[in-house]
Amino acid sequence: MRKGIAGFSALAQDVLRQKPAGGAVFCPPGSPRRPAKALYWDGQEFCLYYRHPLRR
Average pLDDT of the chain is 78
Give 6-29 pLDDT, tens digit per residue: 887 887 788 777 777 777 787 877
CA 6 to chain CA mean position, Å:
10
Query: Residue 55 above 70 pLDDT?
Result: no
DSSP 9: H
3 state DSSP class of 14: helix
Tell me the torsion sign for CA atoms 36, 16, 4, 1: positive
- pLDDT, residue 56, reads 59
Domain boundaries, the chain: 5-51
Q: pTM of the predicted model, to two decimals? A: 0.60
CA R_g for the chain: 12
